[in-house]
Structure 1
Amino acid sequence: MEEVTVKRQFEAADYVVLTAMLAISVGIGLFYGCTGGKQQTTNEFLMANRNMNPFPVGISLVASFISAITVLGTPAENYVYGCMYWMFGFAYIFTGLASAYFYLPVFYNLEVTSAYEYLEKRFNKVVRLMGMVTFSLQMVIYMGIVIYAPSLALNAVTGLDLWGAVFAIGIVCTFYTTIGGMKAVLWTDVFQVTVMVVGFVAIIIKGSMEVGGLDRVWNISAEGGRIQFFDFNPDPTVRHTFWSVVIGGTFTWTAVYGVNQSQVQRYLTCGSANVAKIALLISTIGMVIVVCLACLSGLVMYAVYAGCDPLQRGEVAKSDQLIPYLVMDLFDQMPGLPGLITSAVFSAALSTVSSGLNSLAAVYGEDVVKLVWPDMEESKYTKITKGLAGFFGLLSMGMAVVASYMGDVLQTALSIFGMIGGPLLGLFSLGIFFPWANTKGAIFGLISGLCMSFWIGIGAQFYPPYVEKPPLSTCCCGADVGNFTMMFVSTDEYTTSSMTTMMTMEMPEERPAIATLYSISYSWYSAIAWLTVIVVGLIISFATGPNDPADIDPKLCCSLVDTMYCCLPEKIKKPLRCGVRYDQQWHVDDIETEYKVVSNKDGKNARAKDETKL
């Protein structure tokens, strides 16, 4: 690659492509705002009339949370640290299975709109509101990140005003979400994921051609220390190992796909639980494909810049700007293609933010507005939920300012998932899998989980963990990138110098003993928070008087033994159900209706009794 001395700019064709992508997204919103029921009811606006095909729902599940951070952050992760992040593909598989078989059936049986309705049915209104507020905090911060990230990309490649781009994205997204409702969100996600995949494929093809093929990409990456798989180091302070990525990643992403309102609301738009499981299967396959494309794009980018790193040369200020820089470098002689691939970054942000706006409108409508005005007429309630979507759109634009101080988008986003999503996953798991847990246990468990995760997460900002990075180089600037392997191997002075510089930067001067806790990999945040909620919640529940499992409505729990070991004899399964009367609901059809009435009555009495203890 030739040495870059000036900042490349968009041409007219690039602006046309980018504008067309935004216009199509707006057009989809207008279409669903003017057809069908015209979004006149909350059932259509929030839930798409609960009759969606699993394909758009599955693709939307892919788009909602691994979009903007995937396009910008994952390739940069592989470029800087190596491809251990690729192992998250295994975590996505376990996440899909856990979400489909442990959490989805519970929400479907209850026919909820807000996932936090479950918390009131299982515990009480206080727990429901605590869960809703925790989710709101997570989503508002996260949406700020994913609005800021593509704006940063646009600023890096075109020189346009960063904050002008922030508001442009926020306004477009808020408009089509408010006008077109859930159907617009789902189908714009399908369009936007298509653009995102096309962008990755174009980078892989063009970049690999630049260095001599995918085999050369792999060889150069291996010589540069980027090919790292199956690191079984048990040390939890190592940033990425097989255990932290697969096990910790499963907890992180199950908090997103299993209990997060944005995802739960999507699969509840399907007509049945079986259709929703198909949607989750599609999304699992889609997530694995997207992470593979993103990681391979990162290796291609490393092969292109192996001996002439833009970060060290000062061509880009942050690793999150590497992908847009690469796009302008590879496609500068192909008008329109930089605009198309930058559109992938914009599409990623739009899909994520639109899902967040719709879900926030749903939870505040169901958990706040209906709580205050339970008898509000439908037309007025629908207008209020649309207004809520618009309000959170404006708020997310404001949070983009905060996101500009948060560091690289990928680790920041996953840290937030762990710090806030982990305690929420623990709260729902406490209710679904532990029938003895009571309201006090749920409240103190959630508070303890949040305190633990924020303690570690904030402490890591003051005492950042030491991270070993493979070296980057500028030794070959102006040379043919095809000669990189030979120069890297033979230039011992460069290799030694680079490693010495890295170690000098990483060596500590003075750190307190507690800093060891803050060095735990961000991949473990969610698992630690989950375990804290479960342990504290059960201790408090048993100390204050546990619930009688026989008094719990079976629809509020998940029987692990029936889900995972359905072929076991009944005499073995019965004691493993922990006293919850699943067998009455599932196998005694002639008294099913009578049993449900008794169960609901007992459960309600138990909850009322528990509330008086507070």
Structure 2
Amino acid sequence: MSLFDNLIILFFLFGIILFSINQSQKNQTSNNESYFLAGKKMHWIVAMFSIVATETSVITFVGIPALSFVDHNWSVLQIVLGFILGRVIVSHFFISMYYKNGIVSIYEVIGQKFGVNVQRAASVTFLITRLIADGIRFFATAKIVQIATGWDIQLSIIIIGIITIFYSSIGGLRTILWVDGFQFFIYLSCGVITIIYIIFYQSVDTGTILNQVNIFSEWINFSNTNSFFIMLFGGALISIGSHGVDYLMVQRVLSTKNISSAKKAMLGSGIFVFVQFCVFLLVGSLIFETGFDPLEQGDVFAEYIKYEIPIGLKGLMIAGALSAAMSSLSSSINAMASSTVIDVLGDKSFDKSIKISVFWGVLITVFCLLIKFDKETPIFILALQIASFTYGGLISLFVLSKLKTTLNSFSVLCGYISSIIILLIMYFNSVHFIYFIGIALFSNFVIIIVVNFYYSLLKNRVDN
């Protein structure tokens, strides 16, 4: 890669460091609410862009062009429509619940209903899921950097990790939100610039592509996981899980001034996610029409950047990939630290927060260095699979916490753990992940009700 491109990347990295230092000096954090929720003073637009940057990031940048390459398959947009529907449900049923309880971590709601053990179980599940998911995202970005620049992949991981740990720990959530917004526009602009470059400099006709785009196959067919209503329903459940009960996303809306602002941030993010998916799906289709032949279809955008994008723009593209990784990683570090301090340790003192942020940043980086990525599964699909294992159980816990029915913590834990075990069995029997959340919801409800009934019956006999 040219000296000019390397200078652009270095300028970007130093710019992030200086910006984060400036933000941390302007907004001193002195307690957990300011460190983990930005003092609940953020504008909803800033929170909205942070949601989008955190949610899709490198998965969009790397994985989506690979899905539409070759056969112009845009069927993933059906899931994205489900993402929007899920956000509508979250805005209506979940956000007001979190604001009314005056919490820092959303899993406190579960603790208030079922006790600290269930709260910790939910938090630990969140932490493990985030560690695995973000390790894979992080690795995928380092792989892009390696392909496009020739840098050693382990060196790329260490550099990205150190810089992200630094800015995410010194300024708290407020700094992360502002940096996320900046990074969102960088990597989205990379997709737009690629489209413009291919259309005007490689003379590809978009009309031909749009005529061949494949979005809908069937309206409903339970044996076809690509049918519209199956993907819409599955996408809605994933979105309810990711934006309703996954603290990584909910933390962003809790940083806003009030319920109205939180709902605007949540709903607005759905529109931008749809636009973003369209941009990167078009990138994949356009690259195919240029006749470009990648060594690995999953690395099509990274290889195109390396071999086709001119000097100067190439450096910007790598900065976009770095932005995609760092926005997700920084958000996870802060959210995981918050959940550890509030839910697991039960210690609301501010002293440990920064140290625990650094701990999780280092652990994710080390996990990324050790990971072995299976290229047979597209990274976007792999990310959804990981999330689907736990979202169903978490959603059911929050729903049950709002019911007036009395449930003992033992039955709730049994149902929650059993639902995850059932999904593992389903996975090894090749059941599609789109059904995982629905299966977990149903099985968790049934197991909890049955165990609670017999537990209460046994307890009454012992007492009598």
Q: Report TM bin, short chain.
A: over 0.9
Q: Which residue of 2 aligns with 1:229?
A: 216
Q: Which residue of 1 aligns with 2:285?
A: 299
Q: Which amino acid aligns with 2:219?
A: F
Q: Which residue of 1 aligns with 2:29?
A: 39
How many angstroms apart in 1 are the aligned matches of 2:36 and 2:253? 12
Q: Which residue of 1 aligns with 2:233?
A: 247
Q: 1:422 aligns with which of 392, 406, 419?
A: 392
Q: Which amino acid aligns with 1:327?
A: I
Q: How far off its partner does 1:304 sit?
A: 2.2
* Secondary structure of the corresponding residue to residue 75 of structure 2: helix
Q: How far off its partner does 1:138 sit?
A: 0.4
Distance verdict in 2 for CA 1:246–1:147, change over 3 Å:
same
Q: Which residue of 1 aligns with 2:419?
A: 449
Q: How far off its partner does 1:523 sit?
A: 2.1
Q: Which residue of 1 aligns with 2:326?
A: 350
Residues 157 and 369, structure 2, Cα contact 8 Å, conserved in 1 = no
Residues 124 and 344, structure 2, Cα contact 8 Å, conserved in 1 = no
Deviates more, 1:137-146 or 1:281-290: 281-290
Residues 29 and 181, structure 1, Cα contact 8 Å, conserved in 2 = no
1:153 equivalent to 2:131? Answer no
Q: 1:217 aligns with which of 205, 209, 220?
A: 209
Distance verdict in 2 for CA 1:254–1:271, change over 3 Å:
same
Residues 240 and 521, structure 1, Cα contact 8 Å, conserved in 2 = no
Q: How far off its partner does 1:323 sit?
A: 0.7
1:439 equivalent to 2:409? Answer yes
How many angstroms apart in 1 are the aligned matches of 2:231 and 2:35? 37
Q: How far off its partner does 1:75 sit?
A: 1.2
Q: Which residue of 1 aligns with 2:367?
A: 399
How many angstroms apart in 2 are the aligned matches of 1:389 and 1:239? 39
Q: How far off its partner does 1:211 sit?
A: 4.2
1:59 equivalent to 2:49? Answer yes
Larger Rg: 1
Residues 147 and 306, structure 2, Cα contact 8 Å, conserved in 1 = no
Q: How far off its partner does 1:162 sit?
A: 0.6
Distance verdict in 2 for CA 1:227–1:261, change over 3 Å:
same
Q: Deviations over 1:531-577 (max 9, x none)?
A: 2222222333344449xxxxxxxxxxxxxxxxxxxxxxxxxxxxxxx
Q: 1:325 aligns with which of 289, 303, 318?
A: 303
Q: Deviations over 1:229-274 (max 9, x none)?
A: 24235234x4533233211111112111011111121111112111
Q: How far off its partner does 1:293 sit?
A: 1.2
* Secondary structure of the corresponding residue to residue 49 of structure 2: helix
How many angstroms apart in 2 are the aligned matches of 1:293 and 1:437? 47
Q: How far off its partner does 1:527 sit?
A: 2.3
How many angstroms apart in 1 are the aligned matches of 2:21 and 2:164? 12
Q: Deviations over 1:421-469 (max 9, x none)?
A: 3322222223235745442332122111111122223x1xxxxxxxxxx
* Secondary structure of the corresponding residue to residue 345 of structure 2: helix
How many angstroms apart in 2 are the aligned matches of 1:346 and 1:203? 17
Q: Which amino acid aligns with 2:55?
A: F
Q: Which amino acid aligns with 1:309?
A: D
Q: Which residue of 2 aligns with 1:19?
A: 10
Q: Which residue of 2 aligns with 1:533?
A: 444
Q: Which amino acid aligns with 1:366?
A: I
How many angstroms apart in 1 are the aligned matches of 2:130 and 2:241? 13
* Secondary structure of the corresponding residue to residue 18 of structure 1: helix
Q: Which residue of 1 aligns with 2:67?
A: 77
Query: TM-score, normalized by length of structure 1?
Result: 0.71
How many angstroms apart in 2 are the aligned matches of 1:402 and 1:73? 21
Residues 33 and 180, structure 1, Cα contact 8 Å, conserved in 2 = yes
1:95 equivalent to 2:93? Answer no
Distance verdict in 2 for CA 1:96–1:427, change over 3 Å:
same
Q: Which amino acid aligns with 1:290?
A: Q
Residues 178 and 386, structure 1, Cα contact 8 Å, conserved in 2 = yes
Distance verdict in 2 for CA 1:261–1:32, change over 3 Å:
same
* Secondary structure of the corresponding residue to residue 370 of structure 1: coil
Q: Which amino acid aligns with 2:21?
A: L
Q: Which amino acid aligns with 1:320?
A: G
TM alignment of 1:178-197, pairs within 5 A: 178-197=169-188
Distance verdict in 2 for CA 1:112–1:179, change over 3 Å:
same
Q: How far off its partner does 1:111 sit?
A: 0.8
How many angstroms apart in 2 are the aligned matches of 1:299 and 1:435? 52
Q: Which amino acid aligns with 1:214?
A: T
How many angstroms apart in 2 are the aligned matches of 1:434 and 1:169? 47
* Secondary structure of the corresponding residue to residue 383 of structure 1: coil
How many angstroms apart in 1 are the aligned matches of 2:195 and 2:309? 12
How many angstroms apart in 2 are the aligned matches of 1:538 and 1:434? 14
* Secondary structure of the corresponding residue to residue 258 of structure 1: helix
Q: Deviations over 1:315-352 (max 9, x none)?
A: 34xx33111112233323xx210111222111111111
Q: 1:125 aligns with which of 113, 116, 121?
A: 116
* Secondary structure of the corresponding residue to residue 541 of structure 1: helix
Distance verdict in 2 for CA 1:403–1:425, change over 3 Å:
farther
Residues 333 and 357, structure 2, Cα contact 8 Å, conserved in 1 = yes
1:523 equivalent to 2:434? Answer yes
Q: Which amino acid aligns with 1:61?
A: I
Q: Which residue of 2 aligns with 1:48?
A: 38
Q: Which has the higher contact order (CA 8 A, sep 6+)?
A: 2
Q: Which amino acid aligns with 2:65?
A: P
Q: 1:388 aligns with which of 348, 353, 356?
A: 356
Unaligned runs of 5+ in 1: 1-9, 375-380, 460-514, 547-608
Residues 138 and 416, structure 1, Cα contact 8 Å, conserved in 2 = yes
Q: Which amino acid aligns with 2:435?
A: W
Distance verdict in 2 for CA 1:433–1:101, change over 3 Å:
farther
1:201 equivalent to 2:201? Answer no
Distance verdict in 2 for CA 1:80–1:107, change over 3 Å:
farther
* Secondary structure of the corresponding residue to residue 232 of structure 2: helix
Residues 87 and 245, structure 1, Cα contact 8 Å, conserved in 2 = yes
Query: TM-score, normalized by length of structure 2?
Result: 0.93
Q: Which residue of 2 aligns with 1:135?
A: 126
Distance verdict in 2 for CA 1:531–1:19, change over 3 Å:
farther
